[in-house]
Structure 1
Amino acid sequence: MTWNLGYNTDLGYTYGYYREQDPSWLDLCALIKGAAPPSLWAGDQLRYLELGCGQGLNLCLIAACHPQIEFVGIDFNPQHIAHAQRLAHTAGLHNVRFIEGNFVELGRAWPAELGRFQYASAHGILSWIGRTARDGLYACLDAALLPGALGYFSYNTLPGWLSTLPVQHLLRLWQTREGLSSLKAIELGRARFETMIQVNAAMCRVLPAMRARIGQLAKHDRSYLVNEYLHEEWTAFWFDELAAEMSPHKLTYLGTAAAGDWYLPVMLLPDWRAILNQYEDPIIRETMFDVLINQSFRRDLWIKGQTPLWLEDQRQAILNRRCVLLNRPQPKAEGQNPYQFNTSLGEIQGKPEVYGPLYEAVAAGPKTIAELMHVPVGTPATGATPAANLTLGDVLKAVGLMLHAGHIALVHEVKSDKPAKSLNRTIFNAVLAGGPYRHVIASALPWVLMVSDVDLMLCGLYLANPKVNAQQLAGLWVDRLSSLGRGLIHEGQSLTSRETMLPRAQELATVFIERTFPTWQRLGVI
């Protein structure tokens, strides 16, 4: 066995951000399930551990949003850690550090200097490592987690992955038996599956969901595809299987960290609810919920010994949480309901007479959950309904869907916005140099925003040349794109020469200066 323990390291992992790992998000999820989050009982000594931190961008973004928390990221891939350490150093982040470490070795002897933590997270890791490494990860959690700590784990789930199990198996088989590089295995494998679909191979016929999965291969980042499919060991879990693995390590399932799924069981079709309600055992019930909706990916919150939280304390802690509007949904067609939310169950329609006033309220500024309970709602026929008709459950269901859709953000206070703005500057400069980042922090909230590389490059150039107009900014941008060997895409056409790029570049630069830049100033991006 080599140092990678069967994990494919041909390409580094993607440069992503996963909002469910944010402590503020985890705290609210815990509160809704009646558990006291660490922020209520640990004072100002909060510590957060990410196992399998990848490139480290995710943890740097979260750390910059929470400068009062100490963060530690661990990954066994030196390429990942080298990038993470450089990013944190360049941005001047003093509350995060990265360590190259193997779960198996760390689990055998957890370094005393790493200490213990109130939060731990592992995004996707459980599905991509073998049992030996997984046992090492659990041993790390045994040593690192304090009583009452929260653990976030996301992983591939059955039955939703059943139709794709052959895809992973065959891709890996072709790679190993034919000696293919990882990229070649992905490209050749995609072509082979497309041929099998075209000839209506029996396997593809009886597993119709496989067609959609194959169709998505061409749209995904190659680093993601290699890391998703081409490991020596790969596991999609039934929920009860993972619960059985967690149990010996004193970890109890608390609830979903997918905000859009907080109240999903009560939204099931009546016949489905009747099936689910047959089961009282929580493990069977959760597994059967996955069966009913064909769950393929779970974002779970677990707890190591639940800290008591009395009912009134829970209610007050929830009521004091604040949220603010990021963007308001627009109807896809004239006369269509704009309040449509994609969940694990499918698309859910929000009532305009309820969601319209709620969006208006958060658009006016940050609002607590308590304040949202007093927003007048009603129907066009009856007019406003008394605020008492909007229950805490109603508001939390709406807030969960709005958070899940990325329409609102959770707001918390920090003493300084310098870490967030410093990281943003580092990101602007890196993207100008050809870096792959696509996120910045709205330090006024603070909250991480997903943005385009277009706006990141334009912002970096505009900050360096604040007196230029749109035409001049466009020229600077086109010159930078040319130096990177890149062009623009407009209406399906590739623009590569300076003459063809400039008109489109000026259009985008004008929008940036007139709209995006003032918005980013208001949000504290710059």
Structure 2
Amino acid sequence: MSSWSHGYNVSAGYTYGFYREMAPDWIDFALALRGLVAPRRSAGAPFRYLELGSGQGFGLCLLAAANPDGDFLGIDFSPEHVAHGASLADELGLTNIRFVEGDFAALGAHWPVEHGAFDYIALHGIYSWVPEAIRRSLIAILAAAGAPGAAVYVSFNAMPGWASSLPFQHMLRLIEREGVARGIGAVETGRALFDQLSAVESGVTKALPELRTRIENTRNQPEAYLVQEYLHENWHPLWCSQVMGELGGAKLSLSGSATLAENFLPQLLPANMQGVLAGHDRPTLREDLTDCLINQTFRRDLYVRGPRRRHPGESAWQEEFRLWRIKWSDLPETIGVTTAFGSASLKATEIAAIFDAIGEGSCSLAELAALPGVGADRHLLTQKLVLLVHGGWLGCSRGEPGGAGMGAVNARVASLAAVGAPYRNLAAANLGSAIAVVDSEILLFDAYCQNPRRFEQEAGAMLSERLARLGRRLAKDGQPLTGDAEAAQVEQQAATFTSRTLPAWRRLGITD
């Protein structure tokens, strides 16, 4: 392993993901749920945003596109990542973002004055995958780069949920270190080895029944993710109390969760579980005990450098935050929302008024609370809204709609995807964020942007052309379609995109 990587596996580039929880509006909403003042006192105020470990830079570029009032800086130690991010920003015509190659150890020892201070700092896929010395450097960076009142997003593999996977990860690293196999080959070799251990009813697989499920899940996960997840020299799932103690060195206090539903813990836990927490009011003990109750595997925590509580009567945030519809399918009788602590169900009859009020536009929390029969119990209404946002049915943004559409930016993203780039998100101006899309949607969007007139008549044919160019086929129930079945599916998807998806994207500010 090269010394410049500090044990981080660089044999494969990082994935091209976007994480909605890192959006400034999302972070502000999560803090508002906890009664805290956000780094920006009002929507539209200028802000600075730093991502430490910005990876390929795709996600940060989308945030910069959707938030023109922000100044974005991405720092990563991999020249491959920095080159990709800078090139993509140039391709998209973004002027409010830059990428810098930097080593956390050096930056922790000396934070460049020219970088300045930031209102938002994000660390995704970093903290529990680096050695303790680099974590100390990150703390020094946060202390130097975080403005007073800054919000810090930090995600990490959490204990005790990862405890059952420790033997599997250890063996994968050992297989690679001993030269038996490398990269994805080490994962495949380790998986086969644990298949043998399970077949002979080994002590470790009997003692850790969840291990089998975790290994099975790796069969359906992207190769790049598996290398990045399991094959680092330093892979240390952490207890929340450990992270709280370490980040306290940068004057940071745990202030909420970017996993919105977890801001209602322990209230959403069964009564008997809440009883276990009774009398345990020390924050560190309470967090770890809660994680034991739900067997937490991954945390997306929000820390604030000097958290400030809103005044008791201050409710402006309920007027400022707006809800948008993200899923456009018809409401099922029951919406199931999966969380780390179980599943919650919302009946259509309980939430139909919410969707009716939002309609084809947006609606503020205050407007929803004023609806007859809807907002009588504001706490319950907020819980429902949070679960719907958590489940991807609704999106949340800060401020009035009307931001400039992302037509040119997203058209370029789609054109790159149409020639094979692994991009599956589009920026949404009215969300200050981005949404996930599937292959057929982004290819249809490219067809629409390239030739709107032809698209009106031949959308299905244009989708087929792009699929053929990429050597892909539509699938149903996991099986590739052929012949008439594929042709029918192409036309159906084109019709749905034209009649429902594209108009909805216009409302969200994805296209002009």
Alignment TM-score, normalising by the size of structure 1: 0.91
- Contact 2:424 2:436 (8 Å CA) reproduced: yes
Identity across matched positions, percent? 36
Q: How much does 1:279 deviate?
A: 0.1
Q: How much does 1:444 deviate?
A: 4.1
- Contact 1:410 1:447 (8 Å CA) reproduced: no
| Secondary structure, counterpart of 2:323 in structure 1 | strand
Taking the aligned partners of 1:221 and 1:47, their CA distance within structure 2 comes to 33
- Contact 1:75 1:100 (8 Å CA) reproduced: yes
Instruction: Tell me if 1:8 matches 2:9.
Output: yes
Taking the aligned partners of 1:275 and 1:492, their CA distance within structure 2 comes to 43
User: Aligned in 2, Cα 1:456/1:165: closer, same or farther, shift over 3 Å?
Assistant: same
Taking the aligned partners of 1:514 and 1:500, their CA distance within structure 2 comes to 21
Q: Please list, as runs of the form range in 1=range in 2, the aligned pairs for 1:249-260 lying within 5 A after superposition.
A: 249-260=250-261
**1:316 is matched with which residue?**
316
**1:479 is matched with which residue?**
465
Taking the aligned partners of 1:415 and 1:368, their CA distance within structure 2 comes to 14
**2:338 is matched with which residue?**
342
- Contact 2:67 2:429 (8 Å CA) reproduced: no
Instruction: Tell me if 1:358 matches 2:358.
Output: no
Instruction: Tell me if 1:454 matches 2:440.
Output: yes
Q: Please list, as runs of the form range in 1=range in 2, the aligned pairs for 1:63-462 lying within 5 A after superposition.
A: 63-307=64-308, 309-313=310-314, 315-327=315-327, 337-350=333-346, 352-363=348-359, 365-377=361-373, 389-391=376-378, 393-411=379-397, 412-413=399-400, 416-417=403-404, 420-462=406-448
- Contact 2:151 2:304 (8 Å CA) reproduced: yes
Taking the aligned partners of 1:456 and 1:388, their CA distance within structure 2 comes to 38
Any idea what the Cα deviations from partners look like across 1:398-452, whole Å, max 9, x if unmatched?
121111001111133477525x333201211101111111111233444411111
Taking the aligned partners of 2:403 and 2:237, their CA distance within structure 1 comes to 42
- Contact 2:152 2:304 (8 Å CA) reproduced: yes
Deviates more, 1:191-200 or 1:221-230: 191-200
| Secondary structure, counterpart of 1:39 in structure 2 | coil
* Paired letter, 1:58: G
Any idea what the Cα deviations from partners look like across 1:117-170, whole Å, max 9, x if unmatched?
111110121011111221111111111011111111111111111111111111
Taking the aligned partners of 2:465 and 2:485, their CA distance within structure 1 comes to 13
| Secondary structure, counterpart of 2:156 in structure 1 | strand
- Contact 2:27 2:258 (8 Å CA) reproduced: yes
Q: How much does 1:475 deviate?
A: 3.5
Taking the aligned partners of 1:515 and 1:309, their CA distance within structure 2 comes to 40
- Contact 1:262 1:397 (8 Å CA) reproduced: no
User: Aligned in 2, Cα 1:178/1:86: closer, same or farther, shift over 3 Å?
Assistant: same
Deviates more, 1:465-474 or 1:233-242: 465-474
User: Aligned in 2, Cα 1:466/1:331: closer, same or farther, shift over 3 Å?
Assistant: closer
User: Aligned in 2, Cα 1:3/1:467: closer, same or farther, shift over 3 Å?
Assistant: same
Count of residues paired in the alignment: 509
| Secondary structure, counterpart of 2:56 in structure 1 | coil
Alignment partner of 2:496 out of 496, 499, 511: 511
Any idea what the Cα deviations from partners look like across 1:324-365, whole Å, max 9, x if unmatched?
222267677xxxx51322112111123555323223322353
| Secondary structure, counterpart of 2:15 in structure 1 | coil
Taking the aligned partners of 2:453 and 2:336, their CA distance within structure 1 comes to 42
- Contact 2:23 2:432 (8 Å CA) reproduced: no
* Paired letter, 2:217: Q
* Paired letter, 2:190: G
Any idea what the Cα deviations from partners look like across 1:218-260, whole Å, max 9, x if unmatched?
1111111100000001110111111111112211111212111
Unaligned 5+ residue runs, structure 1?
378-386
| Secondary structure, counterpart of 2:72 in structure 1 | strand
* Paired letter, 1:318: Q
Q: How much does 1:395 deviate?
A: 2.1
- Contact 1:197 1:204 (8 Å CA) reproduced: yes
User: Aligned in 2, Cα 1:268/1:44: closer, same or farther, shift over 3 Å?
Assistant: closer
- Contact 1:438 1:453 (8 Å CA) reproduced: yes
| Secondary structure, counterpart of 1:357 in structure 2 | helix
Q: How much does 1:42 deviate?
A: 11
* Paired letter, 1:190: R
- Contact 1:32 1:318 (8 Å CA) reproduced: no
For the aligned residue pairs, the C-alpha RMSD in angstroms reads 2.4
Q: How much does 1:304 deviate?
A: 0.9
User: Aligned in 2, Cα 1:425/1:470: closer, same or farther, shift over 3 Å?
Assistant: closer
Taking the aligned partners of 1:107 and 1:62, their CA distance within structure 2 comes to 25
* Paired letter, 1:271: N
